[in-house]
Structure 1
Amino acid sequence: MLAMDIIPAIDILDGRCVRLYQGNYQLAETYGEDPVAVACNWAKLGAPRLHVVDLDGARRGTPVHLDVLEAIVAQVPCPVQFGGGLRSFEAVSAVIERGVDRVILGTAALENPDLIKQACAHFGGRIAVGLDARGGQVAVRGWSETSEVDATELAREMEKLGVSAVVYTDILKDGTLSGPNLVELQRLTDTVQVPVIASGGVGTLADVLNLIALEPHGLQGVIIGRALYTGDVDLTEALRAAGPGRWQDVPPDDVAFA
């Protein structure tokens, strides 16, 4: 079995580490006052990658928490991917200059495909596209607007432009712990050849195992948020299940969220 990355999510809103419910900013729940400390804890547990989202930046259209991002990158040994408000080439460049391994462009995929093309040409494999879908249709601007564009069809177009990966989030599943949208994920992984990273809905270890079953079709990883913070999914157990070489033992006393 090939290893699948288990990727803890660190969503930043007003400087805190939060989780939303179905993308609703009004239903944000705080899980840490210091996102850098949270990131370091996940890294200590052996996370192979971290997924950092600037929620304030997603709403405003430009990154807000670059200082927090820079601190996270400086203090964790694993690669970091970042999204939120990246709607210009200058913004993408600024994030990459801070040491991010992969940037995730969301709204730009729908509204500015030329930016995707330019970024892919300049930064190569460090550009991914984030497709956030509500009922299979792409949502943009911090999930506040839903288009009539089919997420899978947009993924096909982004693949042609050269993106290195697709991060697919089912908004109606996000933060609910009700299980991922396996049907849409299967459709996506059967459609595109680039690696797909799933996000939204994971609530149990069984959900992780179901996602692993999709891996032969291109699933590279899964982003897990609320379930890790609530303890419904144990990161070490998930890493063991996802494949060899993806975890390390850490004394429980070393792990304490800020």
Structure 2
Amino acid sequence: MDILPAIDLKEGKAVRLTKGLMDSAKIYSDRPWELAKEFEDMGASWLHIVDLDGAFAGEPVNAKIIEKIASQTNLKIEIGGGIRDEKRIQDYLNLGIYRVILGSIALKNPDFVKLVAKKYKVAVGIDANNGFVAVEGWAEVSKVRATDLAKLYADAGVDAIIATDISKDGMLSGVNVDFTACIANASGVDTIASGGVKGIEDIISLKANKSIAGAIVGKAYYEGKIDLKEAFKIAL
């Protein structure tokens, strides 16, 4: 199982939100490229980045910071937030990003996502509020069930699915293992748990479920609740 430390970018700074609310942002670093290097030095091979400003703007906003992170580490980076067209995908991959995460557009234009998934490394972000897909920086909740969207991407060639339970995000209340497993089983795609990881016990629970491919760790690390080096060892 992969452990993906997370850096959420807002106005060039590394922050964490609570339940995706922008006004809840707490700043943890104004030098996110140094934070990424710290993760690499701890043993990380992956990095999960979200351009929060981009998610709301509908286009990349923190691209220069992301480029700096990519150039100063050897991490496999996945990036999401505001990616709506093929040019943006190409721009990020040209910076050395390993794969892009397509969220809102995965619901609104699945034909496009399936098309680009055949050409590039693409992960689909499925963010759910009470089981229903949320889009546009989680500002809108659709009438589509998360598991139905997951089924849509079975055999579509996507590299992974990032499954986020919004009610858990930034709450340090424990990851939703069942939700993540449901997305994995519905899609048959490597599924990464996001939202709510609060400690090593969550890594152990996720690791025990063979259908789950990874976990994103954010606030638990920033608040000193989890030893990442230990998490990496458990995940092996």
TM-score (norm 2): 0.97
**What is the aligned partner in structure 1 of residue 117 from structure 2?**
120
**What is the aligned partner in structure 1 of residue 100 from structure 2?**
103
Shift of 1:118: 2.1
**What is the aligned partner in structure 2 of residue 45 from structure 1?**
42
Shift of 1:33: 0.7
Please state if 1:147 is matched with 2:142.
yes
Q: Deviations over 1:50-108 (max 9, x none)?
A: 00110000000001111111111111112111000001111111111111101100001
AA paired with 1:199?
Answer: S
Match of 1:30 among 27, 30, 50: 27
AA paired with 2:148?
Answer: E
Q: 1:21–1:176: 8 Å Cα contact kept in structure 2? A: yes
Q: 2:203–2:231: 8 Å Cα contact kept in structure 1? A: yes
For structure 1, which runs of at least 5 residues remain unmatched after alignment?
Answer: 244-258
Q: 1:109–1:158: 8 Å Cα contact kept in structure 2? A: no
- Structure 2 Cα separation of the partners of residues 53 and 105 of structure 1: 11
- Structure 1 Cα separation of the partners of residues 207 and 26 of structure 2: 28
**What is the aligned partner in structure 2 of residue 136 from structure 1?**
131
Specify the structure having the higher radius of gyration (Cα): 1
Q: Deviations over 1:155-179 (max 9, x none)?
A: 1112343211100011110000100
Shift of 1:122: 1.9
- Structure 1 Cα separation of the partners of residues 64 and 17 of structure 2: 22
Q: What secondary structure is seen at the aligned counterpart in 1 of 2:133?
A: strand
Correspondences of 1:1-258 after superposition (within 5 Å):
4-123=1-120, 126-214=121-209, 216-217=210-211, 219-243=212-236
Q: What secondary structure is seen at the aligned counterpart in 1 of 2:61?
A: coil
Shift of 1:186: 2.2
Q: What secondary structure is seen at the aligned counterpart in 1 of 2:79?
A: strand
Q: 1:18–1:29: 8 Å Cα contact kept in structure 2? A: yes
AA paired with 2:215?
Answer: V
- Higher relative contact order (Cα pairs below 8 Å, separated by 6+ residues): 1
Shift of 1:151: 0.8
Q: Deviations over 1:118-160 (max 9, x none)?
A: 211222xx11100111111111011111101111110111234
Q: What secondary structure is seen at the aligned counterpart in 1 of 2:149?
A: helix
Aligned residues: 236
Q: What secondary structure is seen at the aligned counterpart in 1 of 2:154?
A: helix
- Structure 2 Cα separation of the partners of residues 145 and 175 of structure 1: 19
AA paired with 2:102?
Answer: L
- Structure 2 Cα separation of the partners of residues 91 and 139 of structure 1: 22
Percent of pairs identical after alignment?
Answer: 42
- Structure 1 Cα separation of the partners of residues 185 and 158 of structure 2: 17
TM-score (norm 1): 0.89
- Structure 1 Cα separation of the partners of residues 111 and 95 of structure 2: 23
- Structure 2 Cα separation of the partners of residues 239 and 117 of structure 1: 32
AA paired with 1:77?
Answer: N
Q: Which runs of 4+ in 1 moved over 3 A?
A: none
